[in-house]
Amino acid sequence: MAKTFDYRHIVPLEETNVVGNVYFTNYLRWQGHARERFLMDHAPGVLSALRADLALVTVSCHCDYFHELYAADTVEVRMSLGGAEGSRVTMLFDYFRLGEPLPQLVAKGSQTIACMRRDGPGMQPVPIPSELLSALQPYSA
Q: What is the dihedral of CA 135, 84, 47, 76, to 10 degrees?
A: -70
Measured from the Cβ of residue 85, the count of other Cβ atoms closer than 10 Å reads 8
Q: Domain residues for 63?
A: 5-139
pLDDT above 80 (res 109): yes
- What average pLDDT does this structure show over 67-77? 96
Name the pTM for this structure.
0.94
- 121 pLDDT tier (thresholds 50, 70, 90): confident
Total domains present in the chain: 1
- Summarize pLDDT for 10-38 with one digit per residue, the tens: 999 999 998 889 999 999 999 999 999 99
pLDDT value at residue 1: 63
CATH of the domain at 135: 3.10.129.10
pLDDT above 70 (res 80): yes
pLDDT value at residue 101: 87
How many contiguous H segments (helices) and E segments (strands) does the chain have?
A: 3, 6
